[in-house]
Amino acid sequence: MKYSKLSNTNISVSKLCLGCANFGERTDYEEAEKIVLAAMKNGINFFDTANVYPNQGLEGRSERILGKIIKKHNLRDKIILATKVRARMSSKKGDSGLKKKHILEQIKGSLDRLQTSFVDIYQFHRPDDDVPVIEQLSAIDLLVKKNLVHFHGLSSFVSWKLVEQILISKANNFQKIVSLQEKYNLLDRQLESQIIDICKKYDISILAYSPLEGGLLSGKYDLNNPSPKNARHTIWKKDFTSEENLVLLTKADLLKKMAQEKGITLVQLSIAWILQNKAITSCIIGPRNIDQFNEYVSALKINLTDEDLQRIDDICPPLYAKKISKNSMFRK
């Protein structure tokens, strides 16, 4: 296992982070325990969950299962533990969002479920436009001072909202933002347009989630079988007859053929590609079972050549921000 330093901290995290969103719904306790222990055996020291996981209606189950496993096997001092706050936790009024009161209530609940006295990284799961950013950040600052939270992170923030959080935090000498979770995979490279440059400028670690684009890069889907039985998008009844989705399936098909030519799976290709991006601190994997976990981890042994990377770019072109010089107003 390789490790990277988490920005603005003295800790190092594994290049693969175990995402626990399936725990408590698609993954029962016994299977979750196998996955966590296998993760530790393979050098993974970074675990990510959220108060709402695995889903609304099942809130807190992921944290409870993970906390039980951590305590049973005495793992707390050996791992970096991250969770999130923002999502609705019940039908009760005010039981969602990033109001200071809600954040302070939710950290208590997360700590109880995780059976720990602190979390290493506490993350805003999504932005909350109804609450002043200074109120949101002041809550995190208070939690850090109380030693209930060590570091602050964000998840799924568009570029201007990310910068807003950064600048208000700096202006008020609040806890520095150390990480940003963002969706990033072969079929969705939006991260490259602005976020990578912002995070580089402000020294924020990028944690890539959804490396398989919700399963489209699992190898199950192709043009001849767009709705495999029991697959996630089949259950969600996703329409693959639309032009946009047919394009995604076509790209996934080409990538699958490339992987087969290299003697690897599409899953391995997809994870290996993210791991070779120096801008990514850690890739969050969310295995449903131990077999999926083993396939994810095997991607660590794969090295993609420059020719491989160029072929991938030809299939899934990179995205870059438009240069301002293209606008005639700014030409000399």
Would you give per-residue pLDDT tens digits along the chain (332 residues)?
A: 999 999 999 999 999 999 999 999 999 999 999 999 999 999 999 999 999 999 988 999 999 999 999 999 999 999 999 999 999 999 888 899 999 999 999 999 999 999 999 999 999 999 999 999 999 999 999 999 999 999 999 999 999 999 999 999 999 999 999 999 999 999 999 999 999 999 999 999 999 999 999 999 999 877 766 565 655 554 445 566 677 888 899 999 999 999 999 999 999 999 999 999 999 999 999 999 999 999 999 999 999 999 999 999 999 999 754 443 334 333 33
Residue 116: φ, ψ to 5°: -140, 165
User: How many Å apart are CA 180 and CA 25, to the nearest integer?
Assistant: 26
Beta strands in 1-87 (DSSP E): 3-5, 12-14, 16-19, 46-48, 80-85
Q: Could you give the angle at which helices 159-171 and 133-145 cross, rounded to 10 degrees?
A: 60
Query: Which domains are assigned to the chain?
Result: 3-215+265-306 (3.20.20.100)
User: What is residue 188's DSSP assignment?
Assistant: B
Q: Are 107 and 155 within 8 A, CB to CB?
A: no
Instruction: Please tell me the pTM assigned to this model.
Output: 0.92
